C-alpha cells in the first residue's frame, strides 16, 4: 500500500495526537466508526499494532520502508527502538518540518519533492535522505521557494526547535549539529512495543 492520503483526523481519533501528520486535533476523544464508543479491551497484538501504526502515519512511511528501518536499527549498536526513532527523525522531510519550514511532514515532503530545499548547497528532492551532523539545510535561492517557506513559517507545526538543530530565520538556513536525542522526539510512543511487533517477522 502506498502513502496514506485519506482523512487525517480519522487517524488521529484512532491513534491519538500525531504532530507530524496534522496540526488539527480531533473534537471527539473516541475512535471513529460504529463501535468506536464501546470498544472492548484490546489484545496485546492490537496494542503493538497501534504503536507501529503511529510511527507509520506520523512519519508518512510505507510498511516496507518501516520494516527496512527496523532491520537497519537492529544492525546498529545500542537500543533498537531508540535507533529506529533516530533514523525516522533524521529523514530530510522530518528535519525540514522540525526546522519550522513546513506545518506538517506531508507539507515538508512536498517542499523537498518539488526541489525547494538544498542540502550542503545542492538541491535534494529525496524525502528519505538521511541528514547527518554538519549538514546545512537551506531554502533554494529562488523567490518562489522563499515565499513558500516564509508563508509556512507563519503557522509552524511545533513551537520548539530541537536541541540538535539550529535555524536562522533571516537566511532561511538550518544546520544539523548532532543526532536527535530521545526526549526531543515529539511523538508520544513506546518504541519498544514497535520492536516487539516486528520481532515476529523481520
Helix (H, G, I), strand (E, B) or coil at 195: helix
What integer pLDDT is reported at residue 65 of this predicted model? 92
Q: Return the CATH number of the domain spanning residue range 8-87+185-198.
A: 1.10.1050.10
What integer pLDDT is reported at residue 157 of this predicted model? 67
Return the C-alpha cell found at 180. 536527535
Q: Where are the domains of the chain?
A: 8-87+185-198, 91-178
The residue assigned the cell 497484538 is 45
Q: E strands along the chain, which residues? A: 117-119, 122-123, 136-139, 165-168, 173-176
Number of neighbouring beta carbons within 10 Å of residue 162: 20
Number of neighbouring beta carbons within 10 Å of residue 104: 22
Helix (H, G, I), strand (E, B) or coil at 141: coil
What integer pLDDT is reported at residue 154 of this predicted model? 82
- How far is residue 70's CA from residue 197's CA, in Å, rounded to a whole number? 10
Q: Which fold has domain 91-178?
A: 3.10.290
Per-residue pLDDT of the chain (202 residues; tens, 9 = 90+): 467 776 666 777 667 777 766 666 555 555 555 455 556 677 888 888 888 988 888 888 999 999 999 999 999 888 899 999 999 999 999 999 989 888 888 889 999 999 999 999 999 999 999 999 999 999 998 999 999 889 888 877 676 888 899 999 889 999 999 998 888 888 888 889 998 888 876 4
What integer pLDDT is reported at residue 28 of this predicted model? 57
Amino acid at each position: 500500500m502506498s502513502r496514506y492520503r485519506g482523512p487525517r483526523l480519522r487517524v488521529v481519533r484512532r491513534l491519538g495526537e500525531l504532530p507530524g501528520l496534522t496540526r488539527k486535533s480531533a473534537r471527539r476523544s473516541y475512535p471513529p466508526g460504529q463501535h468506536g464508543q464501546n470498544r472492548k479491551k484490546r489484545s496485546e497484538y492490537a496494542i503493538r499494532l497501534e504503536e507501529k501504526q503511529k510511527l507509520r502515519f506520523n512519519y508518512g512511511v510505507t510498511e516496507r520502508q518501516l520494516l527496512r528501518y527496523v532491520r537497519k536499527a537492529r544492525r546498529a549498536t545500542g537500543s533498537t527502538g531508540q535507533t529506529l526513532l533516530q533514523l525516522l527523525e533524521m529523514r530530510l522531510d522530518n528535519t525540514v518540518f522540525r526546522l519550522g519550514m513546513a506545518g506538517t511532514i506531508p507539507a515538508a515532503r512536498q517542499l523537498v519533492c518539488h526541489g525547494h530545499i538544498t542540502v550542503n548547497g545542492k538541491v535534494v528532492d529525496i524525502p528519505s535522505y538521511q541528514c547527518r551532523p554538519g549538514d546545512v539545510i537551506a531554502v533554494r535561492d529562488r523567490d518562489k521557494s522563499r515565499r513558500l517557506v516564509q508563508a509556512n513559517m507563519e503557522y509552524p507545526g511545533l513551537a520548539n526547535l530541537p536541541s540538535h538543530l539550529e535555524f536562522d530565520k533571516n537566511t532561511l538556513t538550518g544546520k544539523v549539529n548532532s543526532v536527535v536525542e530521545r526526549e526531543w522526539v515529539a511523538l508520544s510512543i513506546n518504541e519498544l512495543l514497535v520492536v516487539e511487533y516486528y520481532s515476529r517477522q523481520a
